[in-house]
Amino acid sequence: MELNLYQYSYPSQRSISNENSQPMGVPGTLTLLNQRDVSTQPVNSFDWSRDREGLAVLTCLDQTLRVYFVTKLNLF
């Protein structure tokens, strides 16, 4: 099982009109920042810390608890 970290970029326009003058949403773009293999079994729980930027905890079906630190988030 791998964990991917993406950066979302908003589009220049949030909506456009189609040929029937109906508003349509415009998707933004995703950029892959990092990916990491975290376990051989599926992840069943993941949570970001509210107090510490970049601190995350996850549990997997292989009965493990893992703590991750994501650094340099302030550069994005």
Cβ neighbours of residue 3 closer than 8 Å, sequence gap 6 or more: 35, 36, 38, 43, 46, 58, 68
**pLDDT reported for residue 71:** 85
**pLDDT reported for residue 65:** 94
Range of the domain at 18: 2-75
**pLDDT reported for residue 57:** 96
**pLDDT reported for residue 63:** 92
Q: What total of structural domains would you count in the chain?
A: 1
Q: In order along the chain (76 residues), what is the average pLDDT of each group of 10 residues?
A: 90 88 91 91 94 93 92 78
Identify the bridge partners of residue 75 per DSSP, sorted by sequence position.
none
